[in-house]
Amino acid sequence: MVMERLEYDKIVHSKLEDIAIIDYGIVRGNETIVFIKAGQDGSMYGYQNKYLKIADSINKKYGYTVICSSNPFDGTNPLDNAMRVIDDYCNEQDIKDYKIYYMGHSNGALIGAWFGIKYPKIKRMLLVNGPLMYNWHKTKEGIQNFSDERIVLVYGSLDQSFKYTGLIEPLIDEKVKLEIVEGQDHHFSKDTFDLKTLPEKFLIN
């Protein structure tokens, strides 16, 4: 029986200007980096260690590096901070070239949609239950301008943004996908749903 990881290989506490400290949990792996951004005020662990569990699963199955980030978001772009942490990690590990697969939940999904297009290293994005009730123009602009491999937006049918997903449908093309998961709420907590299946299905494969 393979034991689940109990802790990250490395933890970084990085100052975001004079606003907040962002915590990053790192599971060491290869040059493909899965970066996971929690929802508003979420920790790098997530409820019942869900992000650590996702990181452990991805690392064991694919060998990828996984970096999970807390989210004390106040409107300031936190991804410049994240990219510095990723660069420092790659320099430390002597990784010469890397690519990033971004996964964000709720407000973490909005951060990906709003700011992810600024970073050429981000090749794919999985945006889960990002709120559609406000600042839709920023989300729309980010989706439309994402020019790399693909961006997949996933909504549970019980999430409060589900009724607004029609806004996304005109944007769907060969790089933009919309996926609905029936019977799931904002936190994908129904019927012991395994959150680890989302990045494997929609981000990695």
* pLDDT values of the chain reduced to their tens digit, one per residue, 205 residues: 567 778 999 999 999 888 889 999 999 999 999 999 999 999 999 988 999 999 999 999 999 999 999 999 888 899 999 999 999 999 999 998 999 999 999 999 999 999 999 999 999 999 999 999 989 999 999 999 999 999 999 999 999 999 999 999 999 999 999 999 999 999 998 877 888 899 999 999 9
d(CA 72, CA 68): 13
Q: Does 5 fall in a domain?
A: no
pTM of the model: 0.96
Q: Does 4 fall in a domain?
A: no
Q: Does 188 fall in a domain?
A: yes
Give the residue numbers spanning the domain of 168. Answer: 10-204
Q: Which CATH number do you get for residue 125?
A: 3.40.50.1820
Coil, strand, or helix at residue 78? coil
Helices (H), 27-170: 50-62, 79-92, 107-115, 136-145
d(CA 86, CA 67): 8
Quote the pLDDT of residue 114.
96
Domain count within the chain:
1
Q: Does 189 fall in a domain?
A: yes
Helical (H) or strand (E) element with 153: strand 150-156
- Helical axes 107-115 vs 136-145, angle rounded to 10°: 50
Quote the pLDDT of residue 1.
56
Q: Does 131 fall in a domain?
A: yes
| Pair of tokens at residue 96 | 């010469």
End-to-end CA distance of the chain: 25
Q: Does 133 fall in a domain?
A: yes
Q: Does 129 fall in a domain?
A: yes
Q: Does 141 fall in a domain?
A: yes
